[in-house]
Chains A and B, each alone.
Chain A
Amino acid sequence: MLTFQLSNKRFKHFFGGLSSVAITLLGLLALTFFIGRVMPIDPVLSVVGPDADNSTYEQVYKEMGLDKPLYTQYLYYLNDIAHGDFGNALLTGRPVIEDIARVFPATLELATVAIIFGIVIGIPLGVYAAVNKGRAVDHIIRVISLFGYSTPVFWVGMIGLIIFYAWLNVVGGSGRVDLAYDGFVDPVTGMLLIDSALARDWDVFQSAIKHIILPAFILGLNAVSFITRMTRSFMLEQLSQEYILTAQVKGLPKRVVIWRHAFRNILVQLLTIITLSYGSLLEGAVLIETVFAWPGFGQYLTSSLLLGDMNAVVASILLIGLIFISLNLLTDLLYRVFDPRTRK
């Protein structure tokens, strides 16, 4: 529907952007290919096992195309990926792509709850800081958000576990749900909160909430900081404009001026910021999932790394790169669609 509204010029511009994305994508593939190549793990050995004799080894070596020149191998690699073939994972013996599809919803669930924390806490803090610019509150909020930037998430996760799980016992410990409830609900979406709600299994739902709240909150801390800082600076920009002065002179209540005038004008910018920080939660997820034994994508990546499972690592990294590129493209598009000033 949207494309119909796009004028010819913007249409071209958008596809110009797409072609540059395609080049970035090819580079991304080259990078992951290169990483897979220089890994100090013999890909043949991982297939045939350490006891195989030389002739088997040679045969598999040739079957995998390793005797061909590098660029041919790269083309093979591109071909495989175009067909959705990322090879099998060492640990599970199943296609990597199936593994990732299985673990990804857990991460998506965690990141979604985390970004909700980020929005609900970050935006009011940022607006409040901007309105009280230069006062003590502003400085306190600035220091709080700098803390969010400066703390290692995995450490906060552990301290959170020590305090809220070991000492106070108000949250669930590791994993997505108490062990007693494990496997109670059949995965439909793969997101436990939704699945258990669909199955009307409120015990599991409650347990899942107790388990997700702490890791999601801690994962969201970084997003809180980022959203707070950006909201503050966007708001400051708006509040210094003349239309705000006009609104004030008209005698409108402060609340109306702030929320209905200034805040509405930063919504588009905020939307793009939120999309970007949603993507960067993936980075924190790698660490937080390790701390909380959260069976998601991040944990899959790190455990494959430690095992030296090349196929799984390359596919995971590629996926993260893809998510990042698409989120960037999405924010670009959001801007063009929603912000009339970028239309020419």
Chain B
Amino acid sequence: MITNSTMKSSSISKSTNANLMMLLKTVGHGCKRIIRNPLTAAGLVVVILLLVIAVFAPWIATHNPLAQQLSNSLQAPSAEHWFGTDEFGRDIFSRLVYGSRITLYIIALVTIIVGPIGLAIGTISGYFGGIIDTVFMRITDIFISFPGLVLALAFVAALGPGLEHAVIAIALTTWPPIARLARAETLQLRKADYIVAVQLQGASATRIIFRHIVPMCLSSVIVRLTMNMAGIILTAAGLGFLGLGAQAPLPEWGAMISTGRSYMLENWWLVAAPGAAIMLVSLAFNLLGDGLRDLLDPRN
């Protein structure tokens, strides 16, 4: 038994090693092609920059993002406060820097929730077909029949405002396109010779779906998830703006715009900087997603 399992694991590790090499090769090749397109490269740079800023926020920020100093409120941008200060005298630049963590937190959490759910529903639906497919796809249709923000609004209304609830609400609105995509891919794979071969070997449906179909769907699902990230950022910002997402004093970009709104006609910097940050990051993810799609689309 022991030898059997060690043999098995060693053969698996060998094959994963080979897979890993293949993957690295593909990724390396892909990176080269990404860099060749300046727009995609620009998107990639901004996304990496966002990650760096979020990780090193305490070293990059010039002030404490939460420290109020009322005597110093509503100051225009200056050498001391690069992007000015808000109505409580907090440094806007430092708040933006820390806000990048919230943005990434939302994106990461939504993606982690949505990816597996969408994949599971899509592949199961596509593999089994019939009544399971009909039921799952009907449910997907219902969710798709709403614009994202409105459905998210409804869910936040049901759950109550807050950052975690906003994440759940956004996740509930973003899984259907992933599920549809995974289903479409599965439908093409289902009749493939290698799947039939595994079926004849007596593999269970679970094994076929998770070991043989899901890996094949991954690349297109990842592209779709990247393109979704721009939408996630905008929806999260919209919820924050309406006061239903992250709550004060968290420096979430949408919420910063929302509170700055009361002072904006005289103090434009309160809303200009956070909005520009949202736009830049969302644009970067769009460019990156666009580039990835071109890369993986065989027609190009």
Contact = CB atoms under 8 A, between A and B. Distances in A.
A155 B257 contact: yes
A85 interface: no
Contact of A320 (B150, B264, B272): B150
B282 interface: yes
Interface string A296-340: 000001100110100001000100110011001000000000000
B160 interface: yes
B142 A287 contact: no
A146 B283 contact: yes
A324 B141 CA distance: 11
A149 to B, nearest CB: 6
A305 B244 contact: yes
Given A27-B138, A152-B234, A152-B241, A313 B39 contact: no
Contact of A158 (B153, B155, B257, B283): B257
Contact of B286 (A32, A146, A155, A325): A146
How many B residues touch the partner, as a band? 35 or more
A287 B279 contact: no
Contact of A155 (B147, B157, B278): B278
Given A147-B279, A162-B265, A317 B154 contact: yes
B257 to A, nearest CB: 6
A79 interface: no
Interface in B260-296: 261, 264-265, 268, 271-272, 274-275, 278-279, 282-283, 286-287, 290
B121 interface: no
B283 A282 contact: no
Contacts of B282: 149-152
Mostly, the B contact residues are: helix
Interface string A85-105: 000000000000000000000
B238 interface: yes
B234 A35 contact: no
Contacts of B238: 152, 154, 286-287
A28 B144 CA distance: 10
Contacts of B138: 20, 23-24, 27
B170 to A, nearest CB: 14
A27 B242 contact: no
Contact of B242 (A32, A162, A290, A317): A290
A161 interface: yes
Given A161-B265, A280-B147, A321-B145, A287 B242 contact: yes
Given A161-B265, A320-B146, A152 B275 contact: yes
Interface string A114-146: 000000000000000000000000010011001
Contacts of A320: 146-147, 150
Contacts of A301: 150, 153
B157 A35 contact: yes
Contacts of B66: none
B157 A152 contact: no
Nearest to B290: A146
A31 B148 CA distance: 14
A166 interface: yes
Contacts of A31: 142
B264 A324 contact: no
A38 interface: yes
Nearest to A145: B286
A77 to B, nearest CB: 15
Contacts of A286: 149-150, 153, 238, 242
A324 B265 contact: no
B265 A166 contact: yes
A282 B286 contact: no
A324 B146 contact: yes
A159 interface: yes
Contacts of A156: 275
Contacts of A23: 138
Given A149-B230, A154-B257, A283-B150, A324 B145 contact: yes
Q: Identify the 5 closest CB pairs spanning chains A and B, nearest first.
A: A155-B275, A283-B147, A27-B142, A150-B283, A150-B282
Interface of A: 20, 23-24, 27-28, 31-32, 34-36, 38-40, 139, 142-143, 146-147, 149-152, 154-156, 158-159, 161-162, 165-166, 279-280, 282-283, 286-287, 290-291, 301-302, 305-306, 308, 313, 317, 320-321, 324-325, 328
Given A34-B158, A151-B283, 19 more contacts: A32-B154, A35-B157, A36-B158, A38-B158, A149-B282, A152-B275, A154-B241, A155-B237, A155-B274, A158-B257, A158-B261, A161-B264, A162-B268, A162-B271, A282-B147, A283-B147, A286-B150, A302-B242, A328-B145
